[in-house]
Structure 1
Amino acid sequence: MSAFSPGHPASGESAALGQPDLGHLLKASARGDERAFAELYDASSSRLYGLVLRVVRDPAQSEEVTQEAFLEIWRSCARFDPDKGSPISWMMTIAHRKAVDRVRSAEAATRRDQTYERASRERDYDVTAEQAERDLEAQRVRRAMESLTETQRGAVQLAYFGGYTHTEVAALLGIPLGTAKTRIRDGLIRLRDTLGMQS
């Protein structure tokens, strides 16, 4: 598989009148067709990089995360199911998950550094208790997110972790605005119910 560089104009997007069939390219990539994967990359890398950049914020890290996302897409494209969503929404979900993982990893490293610094000083019980409470709440939210359907989870992650508007979520996932709103609303309802049962 060739090395690619995100953030540059995607050659596959230059054909304004004839966009490539991403679903067909995913199927061909699943059969090991590197040329099809290169075309898939060219047609979608700018959108995935833009999404990752909005989450990660750092351009260099965003390029790395985009590469990681495409590596996972290459490895798992045989699992793409067109009945569960569009090719671009499936790819965007992978990219967003990778971006969130990178942010969480950075936050975890920061927490480890802060924990080490605090260990050299007398611990403030209230601060420790508040941190523990925040960690428990984050775990509850992560478990609740796992209860959502894949389509609901993708929409909710874009709207609330990625900071996108409903209109932007619809555009990113390639679905009507009403569908995006419904997925977000239903996902939030299920989150609320799941969190309620956990409390």
Structure 2
Amino acid sequence: MPTYDAAPQLDPPTREEELVFREIYDQWHARIYSLSMYVTRSAFMSEEITQDVFLKLWNQRSSLAQIEHLPAWIRTITINTTINYLRKKAREQLLLKNYLEQAHEQTDDGFQGLRERELAGLLQGIVKDLSPQQQKVWELTRGGGMTLEQAAIEMGITRNTAKEHLARAIKTIRSRMDGHIELMVTAAVGLFL
């Protein structure tokens, strides 16, 4: 079975290639950076583009001395590298935008619904553990849409007694829900976003 090297073996650069490349680097670095900065208006992108241009120049180092119109050649490489970089960034941003839109749709449809069901299940469990009177006043006022006075009449108790049962029910529910704050926040976010 043949073996493969991780990277191809390149001939080491000659002293002349290094000198020519160094001269080009010293002469053109600021110009390439300035051009890319003018187009991108981003220091980070300009550094990336400048590095890519010099990498391309380095890979062509053996033929640099033979190029007749080196300034035009370098400008062309810089412009093409800048355009390619901007196209790549635009594609990445479009992909990210599409991904975020899909993730938001999935969150709305799947994850958010799951969180709401979990929260509803947790609340039902807590309500089942309330005293019968607290349970009844909670269900009538929160689930049944009755006012506190209507719930009191339905239960055959005074309004103040119904109010006391509801206050205790709310206190119990809040204290038991405190341990599930992440679930409550996640479900609430879905209501507003």
Q: Greater relative contact order: 1 or 2 (C-alpha under 8 angstroms, separation 6 or more)?
A: 1
TM above 0.5, yes or no, is no
Structure whose alpha-carbon radius of gyration is higher: 2
